[in-house]
Amino acid sequence: MNRLFGLLSGATLTLALISPATHAAESADSLIQAIKDRGALRACHAEALPWGAKDPKTEEWVGTDIEAAKHLAETIGVEIEHVDSTWATLIPSLETDKCDIVMAPMFRTPERAMRILFAEPSGYETQGVAVLTDSGSQQYADLDKDGMTIAVLSGTADEAFANRFFKNAEVKPFVSDKLSTIFLEVASRRADGVLTDSSTLRNFIKENPAMKLRILEAEPLNPQGYSYAVRPGEYHFVEFVNVWQQAIEMQGLRDQWYEKYAE
């Protein structure tokens, strides 16, 4: 009898210890229902071409990830709410519940993965450097010298990589929600180069020929995947996003969006 009581007591204690954690996990993994109850999907964006940027005429977000956000919201059956952010504030905005998902080409780094939950990659990208057309720099080594300055956006994977890659040049981060900020530094000769992802370099230079910039004809840097991201614990939602991504790929929608906005 005492042995049976001991077994029952141990089982009860085990259930008591497990139940709160199980309940917490269940309540945390409920984002889809919360979005449905709210009637809107909140997607955080930061400027990157061709994925997302503010149309200067309308001040509305446009780009491939903006189309994707609209489609994701339609799939859930809710409205889309685009949330303005910067590369430095994307993760804090997610952590403080200003948005449900980051829909920007965020590189999948281990440092970020300790704070957020990445979906499967939505694409792959490299990084590169742009300089003035009349610059004497032809290789990265030409810029990696004392007295040289590399402009990057603050809080980005570009900043972290530039600090590792350039051993001698000064890496100068700028806090801004506008891509033009770092390119203007080079165009005005306050910086010698700008480092960001290769697609942004190509698209920005194509759209702004008056700045007279060119991309260094060197091997692209740091190839890696980029992904959408959600808060830790939302495994149901991130798996839903993964399945949705497979669906839009099979339907050819992602290619259509890139044809519309990319070069």
**What's residue 177's pLDDT?**
83
Architecture of the CATH domain 125-223: 3-Layer(aba) Sandwich (3.40)
Q: How many CA atoms lie within 13 A of 215 on its CB side?
A: 20
pLDDT of 6 above 60 = no
Lowest pLDDT segment from 44-48, 102-106, 173-177, 187-191: 173-177
Bridge pairing between strands 117-118 and 123-132: unpaired
Domains 26-124+224-261 and 125-223 share a fold: yes
Per DSSP, helices labelled H in 97-192 are 110-113, 140-143, 157-165, 180-187
Rounded Cα distance between 179 and 197, Å, is: 11
pLDDT of 5 strictly over 70: no
pLDDT digits (tens, 9 = 90+) for 144-196: 999 999 999 998 999 999 999 999 999 999 998 888 999 999 999 999 999 99
Give the Å distances, CA to CA, from 11 to 4, 15, 21, 64, 221. 11, 6, 16, 53, 56
Delimit the domains of the chain by residue range.
Answer: 26-124+224-261, 125-223
d(CA 130, CA 95): 33
DSSP secondary structure of 54-86: E-TTT--EESHHHHHHHHHHHHHTSEEEEEE--
CATH number of 26-124+224-261: 3.40.190.10
State whether the Cα torsion 137-166-192-182 is positive or negative.
Answer: positive
Global confidence as pTM: 0.79
Choose among 178, 129, 132, 130: nearest CA to 153: 178
Strand partners, 118: 229
47: buried, middle or exposed (CB in 10 Å: 19+, 13-18, 0-12)?
buried
